[in-house]
């Protein structure tokens, strides 16, 4: 749970109203509020005081279910002008970069702030997120999305071109969601703590090749390139089968770790047999 909720919905709660087939609405409860949907109108007053998970009805007698907002819903709902980062990718990024409570993390670009929300949630009160973007309107949008979660104190939004480098040093992890990460690998190296973790996501193989080249030339190793396919099933016990269609591609994930090579004369002979 992102917020501290009671067992029943209260005024001011950010809630999720879910219809049966995956459509949902995120609203903040207000005594006199109303939600208009194509399945009818629901008054906030009818929700306040209800237990979470309750079935409620619109004025057209269509059922909805009332839940505390979840991070997944926030990610899928976030208003955006940009490509989305999917939960399947975000979960794996967090685990692989080791991002959790207490971490200091940089991301660029901010975009609409989907990953920013996830990072801010997972670094907890003791961690911090530095989020770079060079388009004012995207940053404004991301600020609004973070404010919805009341996590603005965990994030510094910066309006920089990262070609000039990052303000921070010794961060635990750094993630680039920009079209040309290969242009910023030196800057990444300077911002990471020794041994720190780097990640990126890229749509095309051509971009991946460019980044691999830049990583090798700038003191990174333990490079992984992977992609994650998520396949849903129709959840019917007597007719269990995958859905007809699925997302085939969101992006290639690239991970690497900063290394400190020992002086050449010692390493040389050995690294060859290692590379073989």
Q: Is 23 in the site for its own copies (CB under 8 A)?
A: no
Q: Binding string to its own copies for residues 145 to 184, with x set by CB under 8 A, is what?
A: -------------------------x-x------------
Q: Which stretch binds its own copies (CB under 8 A): 27-35, 141-149, 158-166, 204-212?
A: 204-212
DSSP result, 75-110 = HHH---SSPPPPHHHHHHHHHHHT--TT-EEEEE--
Q: Is 35 in the site for its own copies (CB under 8 A)?
A: no
Q: How far is the CB of 243 from its own copies (least distance, A)?
A: 6
Q: Tell me if 174 sits within 8 A of 192, measured CB to CB.
A: yes
* CA atoms of 76 and 72, how far apart (whole Å): 6
Cβ atoms < 10 Å from Cβ of 196: 22
Q: How far is the CB of 234 from its own copies (least distance, A)?
A: 8
* CA atoms of 119 and 117, how far apart (whole Å): 5
Q: Is 30 in the site for its own copies (CB under 8 A)?
A: no
Query: Under 8 Å CB-to-CB from 115, ≥6 apart: which residues?
Result: 85, 90, 93, 107, 175, 177
Q: Which stretch binds its own copies (CB under 8 A): 29-37, 141-149, 158-166, 249-257?
A: 249-257
Footprint on residues 205-234 left by its own copies (CB under 8 A): 205-206, 208-210, 212-213, 216, 221-234
Q: How far is the CB of 141 from its own copies (least distance, A)?
A: 22
What is the radius of gyration, based on Cα positions, of the chain? 22
Q: Is 95 in the site for its own copies (CB under 8 A)?
A: yes
Residue of 53, 79, 136, 265 that binds its own copies (CB under 8 A): 53
Q: Is 84 in the site for its own copies (CB under 8 A)?
A: no
Six-digit token string for 213: 């080249």
State the pairing for strand pair 192-202/171-176: parallel
Q: Is 242 in the site for its own copies (CB under 8 A)?
A: yes
């Amino acid at each position: 749970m992102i917020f501290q909720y009671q067992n029943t919905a209260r005024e001011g709660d950010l809630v999720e109203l879910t219809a049966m087939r995956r459509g949902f609405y995120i609203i903040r409860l207000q005594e006199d509020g109303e939600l208009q949907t194509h399945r009818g109108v629901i008054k906030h007053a009818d929700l306040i005081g209800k237990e979470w998970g309750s079935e409620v009805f619109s004025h057209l007698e269509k059922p909805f279910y009332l839940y505390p907002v979840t991070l997944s819903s926030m990610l899928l709902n976030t208003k955006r002008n940009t490509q989305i980062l999917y939960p399947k990718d975000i979960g794996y990024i967090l685990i692989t970069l080791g991002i959790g409570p207490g971490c200091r993390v940089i991301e660029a670009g901010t975009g609409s702030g989907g990953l920013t929300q996830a990072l801010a949630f997972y670094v907890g009160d003791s961690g911090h997120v530095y989020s770079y973007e060079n388009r004012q309107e995207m940053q404004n949008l991301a600020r609004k999305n973070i404010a919805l979660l009341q996590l603005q104190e965990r994030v510094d939004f910066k309006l920089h071109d990262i070609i000039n480098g990052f303000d921070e040093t010794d961060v635990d992890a750094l993630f680039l969601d920009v079209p040309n990460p290969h242009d910023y690998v030196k800057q990444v190296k300077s911002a990471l703590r020794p041994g720190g973790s780097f990640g990126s996501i890229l749509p095309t193989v051509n971009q991946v090749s460019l980044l691999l080249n830049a990583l090798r030339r700038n003191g990174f190793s333990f490079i992984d390139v992977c992609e994650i396919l998520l396949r849903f099933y129709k959840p019917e016990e007597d007719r269990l089968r995958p859905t007809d269609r699925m997302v085939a591609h969101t992006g290639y994930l690239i991970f690497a770790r900063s290394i400190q090579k020992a002086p050449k004369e010692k390493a040389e002979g050995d690294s060859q047999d290692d590379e073989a």
